[in-house]
Amino acid sequence: MSHFGATILGCEGLTLSAVEKAFFAEARPFAFILFSRNIEAADQIRALCADLRDAVGYDSPILIDQEGGRVQRLRPPLAQEWLPPLEQIERAGENATRSMYIRSRIQAHELRGLGIDTNCAPLVDVAVAETHPFLKNRCYGFDAKQVSDIGRAVTDGLMDGGVLPVLKHIPGHGRSVVDSHLALPTVTADVDALVQDFAPFKTLNDLPLGMTAHLVYQAIDPQPATISTKMMSIIREDIGFDGLIMTDDISMEALDGDMTKRSAASIAAGCDVVLHCNGDLAEMRDVVAASGVMTDRAQQRAEAALEARQAPKSVDIEALNAELKSYLSG
């Protein structure tokens, strides 16, 4: 297999333009990601997914953010409305882990029915009291062990439903007190505290795909993790994550410089692929040019991720919904 482009890209609207098709055919991104602007109706989503895959000539992963709560691109009637993860976990109490397995198994069923086969979850950032509200109720708890256990349940639910998980935000976004979509968060905690934050990522280091955090860990490096060789070394060696690492969205305001500079710095630091989400064609051209094709090692990780995909196991969705409801009705 010739090497993929070292990118994951969005598209502009509900259908692909001829210009986008030609661009994707040439760029050969590893995968695509969908947002609300790409979503209108079930048949339209399925057609768009098929067209994206046709453009690159292979069964490309198609990603979406379907955590539930605020970060949920698919809404009724295309998918169920989900509580914020932390709220569901608190309501389910001792059944929290099982409830999150069921939730992600149902989400996988919903995604697969629309042609989408990768969900940007689990989010195993450990929350603290000061965690910024943009992230806090997306977390699975304040205790690394609980977060790890629920992260594994979410992973299993997705995989059992034929959907690849994306572990995020490596190596831990929980201490962020600003929104990295708008500015660069700096974490001042010492290394001992950071090791606690890294723990769930270490527990889940066997996942096929992971996403970086646009955060500065001051005790380790003044550069944001996404473009930090030191942080990438910690992710690979100390956390032991050997899956394919994508950047968080390269167009977020946390990073300095233009798309060319950001993309080149991410690849140089050790990210395997650059994720660019907003569908702006001019920006995507710059990202593709700066990111180039995958390294041999990145290509191996990409192929391993593709091989990790499995057919959905048979399931009774109605029974799962009833079980979930019983845990949340208290």
Give me the active site residues, please: 181, 248
AA letter at 194: L
Distance of CA 188 to the CA centre of its chain: 25
Q: What is the spatial distance between Cα 105 and Cα 97, in angstroms, rounded to a whole number?
A: 12
* Conformational region of residue 172, where left means phi above 0, alpha means psi within -120 to 50, and beta covers everything else: left
**Locus of tokens 């997306």:** 138
The Cα–Cα gap between 48 and 60 comes to 12
Strand partners, 211: 246
Per DSSP, what are the bridge partners of residue 7? Answer: 274
Residue 67, helix vs strand vs coil: strand
- The DSSP letter of residue 127 is P
Which long-range CB contacts under 8 A does 81-90 form with residues at least 24 apart? 82/107, 83/328, 84/137, 84/138, 85/123, 85/137, 85/138, 85/139, 85/140, 86/127, 86/136, 86/137, 86/138, 86/139, 86/140, 86/141, 87/137, 88/328, 89/140, 89/141, 89/150
User: Would you call the peptide bond into 208 cis, given omega within 30 degrees of 0 as the criterion?
Assistant: no
Of 233, 278, 232, 235, nearest to 259 (Cα)?
278
Q: How many whole angstroms separate alpha carbon 177 and alpha carbon 285?
A: 33
